[in-house]
Amino acid sequence: MDVSEIRQTVDRFRILIIGRANAGKTTILQRICKTRENPEIYNSAGQKRGVHNIENEMMFRNNPGFVFHDSCGFEAGGQSEFDEMKAFIASRSKEGRLNDRIHVIWYCIPMDEDGRCFTEGEVKFFSQCDTGSIAVIVLFTKFDALYDDEFAELTNKGVSRQDAKTLAPQHVKDAFANGPQVQLLYSRKGNQRPPRCHICLPDMDKDDADCGVLIERTAEILDDETLKQLFVSTQRTNLEVCMRYALKMTLARHLDFSQIISSHIPGKSGRQIINDLGLWFPYTSRHRQEEDEMWSTLRFSACPIAHSPSA
């Protein structure tokens, strides 16, 4: 699909979020959509619902471009819940319309519970569930719960409380990278479909919580250009990501950097570049006058005549 046709046929990015109760799933979705409000839930007929069901759609008014599905009750490890989730993934991975497919799976594993080991449901998911071409990212949520233990260990070794507070997060991150949870997650033995990557999310409950790493990694692991463009342009929390991908992918498609850029700008092709760049920012309204001014500025700056002494 050409990038200029994406928004005409695919207008919503669909995410399946899986995890135990109290794993911080709703908080993460609120951060992604920049809201404190609870999501609204609808069934397939567009009727509002008050209870969760994996088939129901969860959306936030602040960003209806994201559609979330929640696999509730799966953490119990029951066979019926597991079978329901497997059937849902199989069905939504083969949907004829890209708009109705599940585009990515976020699997949340909280780090604030005793033992912090994988549950039966998590082991079953990674050993038995075939997610097909759907990218899976594991989110180790409530990661800051590990800081207290490391803080206590550092202070017991004679480190000052202030230094221990500063050092604890990085110490935990370094140790966790080589720890048993990560090793088990990517072990090929009995692991049918390892995740594309994992990320650690601390302090998501704070007002200034930053979900930038989740946005960055999700964009990176999407190997379909259509889905990458859809995700990046749907999220509204990280403008830098939009700008980076807009320039990287759009200009790479249109421009031959071995030649002078000005030779490619004038005419219809130049306007197409402007239009394609704008597709990465669909929620930013631009009046025709602003577009024409940008177009005129770009043509002026790219035209060699405009910079000549006689101009």
pLDDT digits (tens, 9 = 90+) for 8-58: 677 789 999 998 888 899 999 999 998 999 999 988 777 887 777 899 999
Provide the 3-class DSSP secondary structure of residue 298. helix
What gap in Å lies between CA 76 and CA 88, rounded to an integer?
A: 18
Please write the tens of the pLDDT for every residue from 200-258. Answer: 999 999 888 889 999 999 999 998 888 888 898 888 888 788 788 777 777 766 665 44
Rg (CA), the chain: 23
pLDDT at 116 over 60: yes
What gap in Å lies between CA 243 and CA 180, rounded to an integer?
A: 37
pLDDT (average), residues 277-293? 53
Q: Which residue has the higher pLDDT, 255 or 62?
A: 62
- Residue environment code for 246-283, b if the CB has 16+ CB neighbours within 10 A, otherwise e: beebbeeebeeeeeeebebbeeeebeebeebbbbbbbe
Checking 251-257 for CB contacts under 8 A at 24+ apart, the result is 253/3
User: CB neighbours (10 Å) of residue 17?
Assistant: 21
pLDDT at 72 over 60: yes
Beta-bridge partners for 19: 108
Query: Tokens 């070794």 sit at which residue?
Result: 157
The pLDDT of residue 238 is 81
